[in-house]
Amino acid sequence: MAHLVGVITVTQKDELIGHEWQPRSYFNPVQDINDNWVISAEEIQGNINPDFPWVNDISPLIEYEPKPFPPITGDTGEFLGE
Amino acid sequence: MAGIRINSNNFNGKSVEITFNPFSGGTINLGTQTIPYDYVSSNYEGNYSIYIPEFDKTCPLQVGTAPTPTPTITPTSSITPTPTISITPSITSTPTPTPSSSEVAFDADAAAYLADVIASGGTTDATISAATNTLFTSLKSNGLYSKMKAMWPYVGATASSHSINALLDKTFDITWNGGMTHGVSGSTGNGTNGYGNTNFSKNDMTAYNDYSFGGYQNTPLGTATMISVFNSNNKCQLGANLSGTDWFARSMNNSQLSTANSGNITGNYIVNRDSSDDTAVYRNATEILSATQSPLVGADSQPFYVFNTNVSGSPGSNYGTHTMCFAFVGEGLTTSEITAFDGIINDFQTSLGRNTYT
């Protein structure tokens, strides 16, 4: 299933961190495979924080491609599985 | 004109059915009303029966003093206009209305939790209220409620209501991050950036070698973790590996336990550790993993995450796409307690139509 996200600038990322997009839910910008900072379609479409009206206008939405993370191992070297 | 105002600290805005028996005799059906409700009448003294359908409870209310068996003629009294009468002393802390003698008492802690759900913008109904009451009373009657350190029943279908620790220690309300969605089935991850911080860490446990944690997933987990923290002094994980082929868990130990994840099985998962170093993982009350492992020692303030792993203070790479409808952290449980606990949680989910097994 495709997960849609919207690209934001580094400045916008810094503005959003630590702020809610709906009560008890905080923005969580992450980087995609191309090092773009992105937030999810849910945050873009569901944002009701009046301090960030521009969030609702982010477009186009693109398919999220996660960064390839190397397998994380535990202290004893085994596959973390996470 | 005189009258009364029927008011409540906790049920204002609710639809209620009011029946009035005046001291002067007879029965007056005042119909379905929304409280606060003003009953304007010169003959307002008597007994009121206020039925709250959402909670399936009846509040008795007496206004004035019943006449003595041998009534005397009294002069027309001066009536104070529209006094405010409270059904219960405090709905916030004790939202249960005083039940009539024929009713089963509504658990005060369940009522307080439901009141918090409503106050946070969540939606409840008679089914949810009854299921929640049974959840609390069953946990208590089985000696399990006191063993819970935090639990999140995901009731009310909003981010705020699903964040609530039902034990009402607000320290452990979940902080949601990213694009989580919340509905009657529970909370659902988006696979991109959604997770929850339970704010409950190893330092909040009673003992490092006597605890349990787990969650109920009602859609397949995929390749994510359900409830996890991975830090130097605390490695507690529950979920599926990156390929989704294995279920695995860590129980306060560096080594992981794993088993084949045939079909990415949904249901209720419990990780349990007791003081004899025995650790085990249960799926729907059946033990699927076990080992004898000494626990990691030392304090750790990194909290459990849901829908991802807290890897030394940051979310891991895999965000869940599954739906969860319960999570908890508690003290260690005996085998019989695990069976009882699993049954209680599944009964709760069954009542809400979101169970995955019977």
ipTM for the complex shown? 0.90
Query: Would B99 be classed as within a structural domain?
Result: no
Regarding whether B194 and B130 lie in a shared domain, the answer is yes
Centroid of chain to Cα B218? 17
Query: Would B96 be classed as within a structural domain?
Result: no
How many residues in total does chain B contain?
Answer: 358
CATH, residue B305? 2.60.120.200
Q: Which residue has the higher pLDDT, A14 or B8?
A: A14
Q: What pLDDT, on a 0 to 100 scale, did the predictor assign at position A69?
A: 64
What range defines the domain where residue B277 resides? 108-351
Query: Would B94 be classed as within a structural domain?
Result: no
Regarding whether B178 and B75 lie in a shared domain, the answer is no
pLDDT single digits (tens) A15-51: 999 999 999 999 999 999 999 999 999 999 999 999 9
Query: Would B358 be classed as within a structural domain?
Result: no
Q: Kindly determine whether residue B177 and residue A71, on different chains, have CB atoms separated by under 8 Å.
A: no
What's the mean pLDDT when you consider all of chain A? Answer: 88
Domain total of chain B: 2
Q: Judge whether A27 is closer than 8 Å to chain B, CB to CB.
A: yes
Q: Judge whether B160 is closer than 8 Å to chain A, CB to CB.
A: yes
How far, in Å, CA of B115 to CA of B118, rounded?
A: 5
Regarding whether B78 and B120 lie in a shared domain, the answer is no
Q: Kindly determine whether residue A3 and residue B192, on different chains, have CB atoms separated by under 8 Å.
A: yes
Q: What pLDDT, on a 0 to 100 scale, did the predictor assign at position A78?
A: 39
Regarding whether B133 and B78 lie in a shared domain, the answer is no
> Tokens representing B228?
């996890």
Q: Kindly determine whether residue B179 and residue A75, on different chains, have CB atoms separated by under 8 Å.
A: no
Cis geometry, peptide bond prior to residue A60 (ω within 30 degrees of 0): yes
Regarding whether B326 and B272 lie in a shared domain, the answer is yes
Residues of B in Cβ contact (< 8 Å) with A25: 159, 176-178, 180
Residues of B in Cβ contact (< 8 Å) with A3: 190-192
Percent of chain B with pLDDT over 70: 88
How far, in Å, CA of B239 to CA of B189, rounded?
A: 14
Q: What pLDDT, on a 0 to 100 scale, did the predictor assign at position B237?
A: 87
Regarding whether B112 and B81 lie in a shared domain, the answer is no
How far, in Å, CA of A26 to CA of B271, rounded?
A: 29
Residue ranges, chain B, pLDDT below 70 = 1-2, 9, 68-104, 262-263
Query: Would B44 be classed as within a structural domain?
Result: yes
Regarding whether B129 and B259 lie in a shared domain, the answer is yes
Q: Judge whether A79 is closer than 8 Å to chain B, CB to CB.
A: yes
How far, in Å, CA of B237 to CA of B289, rounded?
A: 13
Regarding whether B132 and B73 lie in a shared domain, the answer is no
Q: What pLDDT, on a 0 to 100 scale, did the predictor assign at position B95?
A: 39
Q: What pLDDT, on a 0 to 100 scale, did the predictor assign at position B349?
A: 98
The stretch A61-68 carries a mean pLDDT of 92
Regarding whether B309 and B194 lie in a shared domain, the answer is yes
Q: Kindly determine whether residue B179 and residue A42, on different chains, have CB atoms separated by under 8 Å.
A: yes
